[in-house]
Chains A and B, each alone.
Chain A
Amino acid sequence: MGQPYHIRSFCSIQQETILLNGKPVFKSEQEDFGAFAKEAYQFLTIKYPKFFKMDHLSKLAFLTANLVLDKENITPDEPSNTALVFANSASSLDTDRKHQESIKNKDNYFPSPAIFVYTLPNICLGEISIKYKLYTENSFFIFDSFQPQKLIAYTKGLLDSKKAENVLCGWVEFDGKTYKSFLYLVSAKGTLEHTEETILKLYNA
């Protein structure tokens, strides 16, 4: 049995609502995710114009990560050794569909490079890594559903082997009009136990 780890902060975004450590941070009336994300970006006074070039999955992951990392004072100036371990079930399907739409007509065949570059789910990890200058381990898993035990095992492996001091992990799902993100930061510090029971409780809150 290795060293016990803890959850330092956690954030979820779904149904036009952002919760940080269980408390409401922002709520919008915008049902359209793009409009909601823009409002949240402005409300959080994020200054990062590249945000508007991202696809929906990356925007969702970026906003959620931004809240957790800022809360824990992990900044581009002091990024620390923070690994990223994310998962979802829809992969990059939302953007894949947009790309497919742009190539289905041979007489109007103009695929957008800006859309095509987001046709992989792990691109959202790159966006976060670029913003926070993280030169660290990152992985994106595709599961049928949220499976904390798999994330726990992978996270413990990274921390036990000293490949990371912190691991930002969780679920980032975007498919059509449905989205949900839940990210939490794990390290030796923190108050909440890094257990399946705790993670499921926070995920379902």
Chain B
Amino acid sequence: MEELKQELKAKIIDQLNLEDINVEDINDNDPLFGDGLGLDSIDALELIVMLDKDYGIKLTDPKEGRAIFESIDVMAKYISEHRSK
């Protein structure tokens, strides 16, 4: 699980072009949206594509992402339980 969390942090920084943020700057429980990393709605769509492309998880309702992308902890747990890749 720890390895997956580190992988997710690196992917989020790379794919969402978070130029001024390092893996060490993201805590497992930090909110990814709002006051946390400050991600926006386009970032949320990009994360949905990432789930599909890298982990074989298809979210049919973008609103589902709101709960899944709450933090790295929550995201890693969801991916480990639902991944097909």
What residues of chain A have their CB less than 8 Å away from a CB belonging to chain B?
A: 38, 49, 52-53, 110-114, 117
B49 touches A53 (CB 8 A): no
B45 touches A53 (CB 8 A): no
Interface residues of B in 2-57 (CB under 8 A from A): 16-20, 38, 42-43, 45-46, 49, 52-53
What residues of chain B have their CB less than 8 Å away from a CB belonging to chain A?
A: 16-20, 38, 42-43, 45-46, 49, 52-53
In this complex, what residue of A is CB-closest to B52? A110
Partner of A112, one of B19, B20, B38, B49: B49
Partner of B17, one of A52, A111, A113, A117: A52
A49 touches B19 (CB 8 A): yes
**Number of interchain pairs (Cβ within 8 Å):** 28
Q: Which chain B residues border A111 with CB–CB below 8 Å?
A: 49
Interface majority SS on A: helix, strand, loop or mixed? helix
B49 touches A49 (CB 8 A): no
B46 touches A112 (CB 8 A): yes
